[in-house]
Amino acid sequence: MTLSNRPHPYQDLREFLARIDDIGELRTIRGASWDLEMGALAEIIYHGEQDNPPAILFDDIPGYPGFRCVSGLTNSSQRLAITLGFPLSKKPLDIVQSYRDRMKEHKPLPPVEVQPDQAPIYENVLRGDDIDILKFPVPKLHELDGGRYVGTDDLVIMRDPDGDWVNIGTYRSMVHDSKSLGLWISPGKQGRQIRDKHFSKGEPCPVLICVGHDPLLFLASGNELAYGLSEYDYAGGHRGLPFEVVRSEVHGLPMPAYAEIVIEGVMMPGDTRIEGPFGEFTGYYASHASPQPVVQIQRIYHRNNPIMTMASPMQPPSDFSFSKCVTKSGMIWDEIERAGLSGVQGVWCHEAGGARMFNVVSLKQRYPGHARQALHLAASCQSASYMGRFVVVVDEDVDPTNTFDVLWAISTRCDPSEDIEFIRRAWSGPLDPILNETSGTNSRALIDACRPFERLKEFPPVARASDGLRNAVAEKFKQQLGAD
């Protein structure tokens, strides 16, 4: 699907919810408490209904009339297709392919500014004593969490003091009290680099935390893009229409005009408080409680009857892990091709690895060394670099999404002492459960599970019936095989 014939984008989260409801992918759950019940229900649904689980709209949250919270917005192939304006499909690799095709013509599209009277986010503004973040149904997601987390499916918006661009990242934020939050940003993240720039000059770091918004912004925000490319522009390029933004009152930062809830605040150098622990996407409470910068809340903006967005990390699968697999796979495919690699047939970042730690590239080998080149690029490109672990390259006859076939290829086409290489001291961080507290780096195993290029012609043939034979025999015996 080209950008010129993509469907008209939905205007906001509310229209998106109506569209996914139309295709039967929105389930409303009434009466769940913010206190562990919303988190446990997300786990029950995402662990229990692994085949196409719905998005969950929590309504009638006890103690919070008029407020709703939604989880799992982009976590199916069809919901991703609606988010990105692709043809509807239930097949993940169709979405990966559409993403990779889209990127061939994608151009960043900067947002346009509107005035507060045109921006629904300005329907309510809380200032001074009225500021109370616990006015919203902020969930406590897991039993051992250090507190209630308002920012999980969030957009943390900051301006780079050294360049006139705005970064957006998804970073967890924990409520300390009604007027302050803790924000956990891993070393190396662009938001962390920006915050460090402010602090190294001894300056406060202004920030917006949006916790209800268009899921396309969440997709952009939660994935690593090139430094200097604003997620607003990147997401606008996918939308085919610029996002509308409106300046915040205190720091003049751009808020999505149709956002549901935006927190505006400031982090001061040296002002820290204990944040965490928090159940994370690897499936562990990694990164213990630690002192992290405090966001002093200066304003809260919200629409009438606002809808919070929530993403609950846990032992995968979670309410966002599938979405991450698809977007990450498309991004890696796009990036390694941009780096000049030919022959890529597919990429899949497995959900069990949290879409980061077990990634597979399928390749039609064309020259000696081609498979290793694919491995190094797929391990080190921007979208794959953070917290990677295993990268596998397989031949084009192996479906990279099929764990059984990938393990078969590793078992039969990879000679461990020759075909597994390591990258050491690569970018990781405190969420990596294998690391000790002080190390920021891990290693990568690059597993070449392709037939050796030099032996492609004489490598033993695969013991599998040809398609012709298989189809003919299946047709002849279909009644006894129980086929329709």
Residue window 179-198: x/- pattern of binding to ligand FMN, with contact defined by CB under 6 A: -----xxx--xxx-------
Choose which of 58, 86, 99, 171 interacts with ligand FMN (CB under 6 A). 171
Residues pairing with 390 in the sheet: 358, 445
Choose which of 71, 74, 170, 282 interacts with ligand FMN (CB under 6 A). 170
Closer residue to ligand FMN (CB): 259 or 410: 259
Choose which of 167, 327, 373, 380 interacts with ligand FMN (CB under 6 A). 167
Closer residue to ligand FMN (CB): 69 or 449: 69
CB of 159 to ligand FMN, least distance (A): 12
Binding window for ligand FMN (CB under 6 A); candidates: 50-58, 216-224, 288-296, 406-414: 216-224
CB of 231 to ligand FMN, least distance (A): 7
CB of 382 to ligand FMN, least distance (A): 9
Q: Distances in Å between the alpha carbon of 77 and those of 320, 326, 338? A: 12, 8, 25
> What is the rounded distance in angstroms from the CA atom of residue 97 to the CA atom of residue 118?
37
Q: Give the CA-trace dihedral at 236, 245, 264, 166, to 10 degrees.
A: 50
Give the H or E element holding residue 471. Answer: helix 467-476
Q: Taking the CA of residue 233 as centre, how many other CA atoms within 13 Å lie in the half-sphere pointing to its CB? A: 13
- 348 makes contact with ligand FMN (CB under 6 A): no
Return the residues of window 454-473 that contact ligand FMN according to CB under 6 A. Answer: none
> What is the rounded distance in angstroms from the CA atom of residue 294 to the CA atom of residue 309?
22
Residue window 322-341: x/- pattern of binding to ligand FMN, with contact defined by CB under 6 A: --x-----------------
Choose which of 122, 232, 258, 320 interacts with ligand FMN (CB under 6 A). 320
Task: Choose among 132, 10, 117: nearest CA to 74.
Answer: 10
Write out the two tokens for 398. 């192996």
Return the residues of window 139-158 that contact ligand FMN according to CB under 6 A. Answer: 152-153
Closer residue to ligand FMN (CB): 319 or 448: 319
Which residues lie closer than 8 Å to 203 by C-beta, 6 or more apart? 161, 269
Choose which of 223, 230, 282, 373 interacts with ligand FMN (CB under 6 A). 223
- 222 makes contact with ligand FMN (CB under 6 A): yes
CB of 106 to ligand FMN, least distance (A): 17
- 72 makes contact with ligand FMN (CB under 6 A): no
Orientation angle between helical segments 77-84 and 321-338, nearest 10 degrees: 60
Contact present, 2 and 99 (Cβ < 8 Å)? no
The end-to-end CA distance of the chain, in Å, is 33
CB of 327 to ligand FMN, least distance (A): 9
- 98 makes contact with ligand FMN (CB under 6 A): no
DSSP result, 195-259: HHHHHHTT--EEEEEE-S--HHHHHHHTS---TT--HHHHHHHHHTSPPEEEE-TTT-PEEETT-
Binding window for ligand FMN (CB under 6 A); candidates: 162-170, 268-276, 340-348, 407-415: 162-170
CB of 386 to ligand FMN, least distance (A): 6
| Bond preceding residue 277 cis, omega within 30 of 0 | yes
Q: What is the gyration radius of the CA atoms in the chain, in angstroms?
A: 23
Return the residues of window 373-392 that contact ligand FMN according to CB under 6 A. Answer: 386
Binding window for ligand FMN (CB under 6 A); candidates: 42-50, 80-88, 166-174, 340-348: 166-174
Choose which of 140, 172, 302, 451 interacts with ligand FMN (CB under 6 A). 172
- 292 makes contact with ligand FMN (CB under 6 A): no
Write out the two tokens for 150. 């308002």
Which residues lie closer than 8 Å to 151 by C-beta, 6 or more apart? 170, 171, 172, 173, 174, 181, 183, 209, 211
Closer residue to ligand FMN (CB): 153 or 448: 153
Judged by CB under 6 A, the number of residues near ligand FMN is 20
Which residues lie closer than 8 Å to 346 by C-beta, 6 or more apart? 93, 96, 97, 329, 333, 361, 362, 399, 400, 401
Give the footprint of ligand FMN on this chain (CB under 6 A): 152-153, 167, 169-172, 184-186, 189-191, 222-224, 311, 320, 324, 386
